[in-house]
Structure 1
Amino acid sequence: MTAHYFKNTLSITPIQLTNLPLANNSILLFDATKLDVSKFNLPDYFSPFELSVINRRKRAQAKQEYLATRILLKQLVKIAKPHYANTPLNAMSTQFDEASAKLQLYVSDEVINTCISHSHGLVGVALNLAKTEFGFDIEKISLKRPFEKLAKHFYHADEIALIAKPSNTQTQANTFFRIWTLKESLAKATSRPIAKLLSPNVFNELNMATLSASSNCVTVESNDKHTQFDVTVAHKKSTDWRCFLITDFIL
């Protein structure tokens, strides 16, 4: 019944930033730790509001993630909406809307719903042009985190049983983090707090919300280290969401 949620059916394809695909149903992934924020003239890329936000960020990684997500979202808009192709990036602005629990991008008189996720430097962005129920999540797969203890404390009994079933620690970790990204994606798609989705059975919740979900793992190489991440997307109508792992950041 739950086996298809653990099949790696989400397409993840390496691509250069200059060769971005059509923006519809595309999630862009990028290792933001590769960016040197000091080499960017930030007023060229950010609205005054966004500048105030990034300047308040203290951690270098937080600045890298903010820079990458905002630029990628704006590049997607230029592809999705050709009439904005010549719009300067600093004329677009992102802001979180508390009422809808969505990150929205403002360009001209239009408001575009978006979705972002980040984990340990890997960022992902997407436009929700149809404004349907949609959400995705990225999470680093870590064997160092006490995932068994966390699962017993937060997860549903059926989910704990799935995690405990394999004897291999790596497989247990993969199962734990797949369930986690499913819960986070569901929370974003339905604008529900993640705290309310930790203990319920996520597979039942997805079925009750009539949402589809697809997932995969992606390995990112940085500083001679290979880090694995789990990526899940939950969606209402479209079944052809796919990911593109950007291999450069040449604008």
Structure 2
Amino acid sequence: MTEHYFKNALSITSTQLANLSLASNSILLFNAKTLELSDFNLPDCLSPFELTIINRRKSQPAKQEYLATRLLLKHLIKVAQPQHKHVALNKMSTEFDEASSKLQIHVSGDVINTCISHSHGLVGVALNLDKSEFGFDIEKVSLKRPFEKLAKHFYHNDEITLITEPTNTQAQADTFFRIWTLKESLAKATSRPIAKLLSPNVFDELHSAKLSACSNRVTVVDSSDSNVCFDVSVVHKKSTDWRCFLLNDFIN
């Protein structure tokens, strides 16, 4: 019953940002660690509100992730919404709406729902133009995490069985993080706190909500030239086909 959630069916294509022609139903992935903050004049890129947020970020990686996600969202706006093509970047502003639990981008009087995720430098962004049930999540697959202990403490018994059945540590980790990204994606799609989705069986929850889910893994080379694997899951309405694009460059 759960096999299709582990088939890595989510499309992830490596591409140049300049070549991206699809914006609707597109998730952009980018390694924010490669972003040089000194290459950007922040007041030109960010709204006054966003400038206050990024200036509160203490660490370089946090600043890189914040800037990358906001610039990518604004690029998507210009591609997906031609009427906003010539709006200056600093005239668009992202703000979290407490009532809907959504990050929204404000541009020329329009308010558009968005979704972002980030993990150890890899960031992802998407627009939710029709405000449908949609969410995605990125998580680094780490063998150093006590995932079996965490699963036994938080997860549903059926999920624990799926994780502990393989004797191979990598297989156990892959299953743990796949279930984790599905839970996080479902939480974002339904605006439910992740704390309330840890113990229920995520596959039953997806079925009850009549939502589809697809996932895959993507490998990114870090600063030490080591391959780092991330799990990516998307939860959405069954009529919607979401795709990921891993960007290997960034437009300044």
Alignment TM class, shorter chain as reference: over 0.9
Q: What is the alpha-carbon distance in structure 2 between the residues aligned to residue 111 and residue 2 of structure 1?
A: 37
Cα deviation, 1:110-164, whole Å, max 9, x if unaligned, reads: 0000000000000000000011000000000000000000000000000000000
Counterpart of 2:150 in structure 1 is 150
**2:15 corresponds to 1:15:** yes
Counterpart of 1:243 in structure 2 is 244
Q: Return 5+ residue gaps in structure 1 as ranges.
A: none
| TM-score normalised over the length of structure 2 | 0.98
Q: What is the alpha-carbon distance in structure 1 between the residues aligned to residue 193 and residue 45 of structure 2?
A: 31
* Contact 1:132–1:236 (8 Å) recurs in 2: yes
TM-superposed deviation, 1:21: 2.5
Counterpart of 1:160 in structure 2 is 160
Counterpart of 1:95 in structure 2 is 95
**2:60 corresponds to 1:57:** no
| Aligned Cα root-mean-square deviation (Å) | 0.7
**2:41 corresponds to 1:41:** yes
TM-superposed deviation, 1:17: 1.1
Cα deviation, 1:40-93, whole Å, max 9, x if unaligned, reads: 100010000000000000011100000000000000000011111111110000
Counterpart of 1:176 in structure 2 is 176
Q: State the percentage of identical aligned residues.
A: 74
TM-superposed deviation, 1:38: 2.1
Q: Residue type matched to 2:151 in 1?
A: A
Q: What is the alpha-carbon distance in structure 1 between the residues aligned to residue 204 and residue 194 of structure 2?
A: 15
Counterpart of 2:226 in structure 1 is 225
Q: What is the alpha-carbon distance in structure 2 between the residues aligned to residue 84 and residue 245 of structure 1?
A: 24
Local SS of the residue matching 2:130 = coil
TM-superposed deviation, 1:239: 3.5
* Contact 1:15–1:246 (8 Å) recurs in 2: yes
Q: What is the alpha-carbon distance in structure 2 between the residues aligned to residue 186 and residue 10 of structure 1?
A: 16
Q: What is the alpha-carbon distance in structure 2 between the residues aligned to residue 46 and residue 178 of structure 1?
A: 34
Q: What is the alpha-carbon distance in structure 2 between the residues aligned to residue 242 and residue 250 of structure 1?
A: 21
Q: What is the alpha-carbon distance in structure 1 between the residues aligned to residue 171 and residue 86 of structure 2?
A: 47
Q: What is the alpha-carbon distance in structure 1 between the residues aligned to residue 75 and residue 26 of structure 2?
A: 12
Q: What is the alpha-carbon distance in structure 1 between the residues aligned to residue 13 and residue 168 of structure 2?
A: 28
Counterpart of 2:5 in structure 1 is 5
Counterpart of 2:84 in structure 1 is 84
TM-superposed deviation, 1:238: 3.3
Q: What is the alpha-carbon distance in structure 2 between the residues aligned to residue 173 and residue 230 of structure 1?
A: 11
| TM-score normalised over the length of structure 1 | 0.99
Q: Following superposition of structure 1 onto structure 2, how do residues 197-212 of structure 1 map, counting pairs within 5 Å? A: 197-212=197-212
TM-superposed deviation, 1:237: 4.0
Counterpart of 1:234 in structure 2 is 235
Q: What is the alpha-carbon distance in structure 2 between the residues aligned to residue 190 and residue 227 of structure 1?
A: 29
